[in-house]
Structures are given as C-alpha cells and as structure tokens.
Amino acid sequence: MKRALFLMGLALALAACSGHTVHRVEVDLLSFVPEGNRSGTLSLTQAEVRLPDDPAGQEIQVPGAEALEDGQIALQVGLQNTGNSAADLTLEVRAGPQGDTDLYDDAGGDFAVKTASLTLNRGQAATLDGSLAIGPGDRLYNLIKTGAFRLGARVRVNSGDQVQYTLTQAEVVLRLRLFNLIANP
C-alpha cells in the first residue's frame, strides 16, 4: 500500500513538472556553410558574400513550432581590412517564408531581421555581430511559429578595396514548451 501511494505521488509530481519543461532546439547554421565558404576576401570586384551562398538561404523546419517560447540567433563575422583605404561594411541577417526563393529581393515575404555596420581603418580588425533575441510580437517570431522558414546573411563592402572575412558563429537556439500543445480539458 505504501509503495502504491509512493508511486502515485511520484506520478503526480512528474506530471506537474512536465508542464514546466522547456525544450531547446539548436540549429548550427555553420554546418550548412561549406568549409571553403566560411572565409575569403571581399573587394570591389566581389563586394558581397552570402552565407549560405544560395539566394534562398537555409531552410529550417521546426516541428512543434506553435509551442515557441522565445529564442536567439547568434551570428558573428570576423573582419580584417587588408586594403589600402578605410572600408565600410554591412552585415544583414534576412529571413523569409519556406517558399521564398530569394531572401535578398524584398519580395515573397522576405525581410531584414537585423543590420549592423562598421568602418575599419587600414589594417584594423573587428567583428560584425548579427546576434539578436527572438520573442513574442517579433516578425521573426511569428514566421518561426509557422513551422518552416528560411534564414540567410550577407556581408557587403560599401567602400574600401579589400577585406578578409571569417564566419565564426552561426546558430539558432529556440525554446519550446511542447506540453502547451496538449489541450486542457
């Protein structure tokens, strides 16, 4: 009898805890960018690089996305001005619906999630940070809740003659409360 009461109490305690369980979904976007494309040179002849290089970006599917609590994108690009003049650079993080074939054309539902810029003097190095939090009410949050979306980034040289770039971090971390999917009686 004591054992049955113990097991029943344990089952009730586990049921109560499960409603508060938050699951993390981590997508390492760096793994979708070929090793050879993670670094290179930007110049006046190749003034832009897209990560990944597909204009449609990277498709991300999130099963149970309707239980999304919040999340974050961590994206960093290391830069070194190896040219003879100052360089102005821009990092743009873009998102769009699953069916969008070009995240960079401002058509089909794609949009800029974050933009960051900096100026590097000759020989100077710095990091462009495209990291951001995702929360209720954000346009990206609403897009993720559809269950499938596309994500991409581009680095552009607006002026200057030569800059080395290295993609050092690219990941999406989402927090889902999957037990919210169970209807309450």
Which is nearest to 133 in space by CA: 89, 172, 183? Answer: 172
**Domains annotated on the chain, with CATH:** 22-181 (2.60.120)
Mean pLDDT calculated for residue range 29-38 = 87
Mean pLDDT calculated for residue range 16-40 = 79
Contact 95, 150 (CB under 8 A): yes
Q: Tell me the whole-structure pTM to 2 decimals.
A: 0.82
User: For residue 147, what pLDDT is reported?
Assistant: 93
Distance CA(185)–CA(173), nearest Å, equals 31
pLDDT band at 10 (very low <50, low <70, confident <90, very high): very low
Across the chain, mean pLDDT equals 86
pLDDT tens profile 142-152: 999 999 999 99
pLDDT at 12 over 50: no
Exposure on the CB side of residue 10, measured as CA atoms within 13 A: 6
Contact 172, 151 (CB under 8 A): yes
Distance CA(75)–CA(174), nearest Å, equals 14
pLDDT tens profile 84-141: 999 999 999 999 999 999 999 999 999 999 999 999 999 999 999 999 999 999 999 9
Mean pLDDT calculated for residue range 149-156 = 94
Between 168 and 13, the higher pLDDT residue: 168
User: For residue 1, what pLDDT is reported?
Assistant: 53
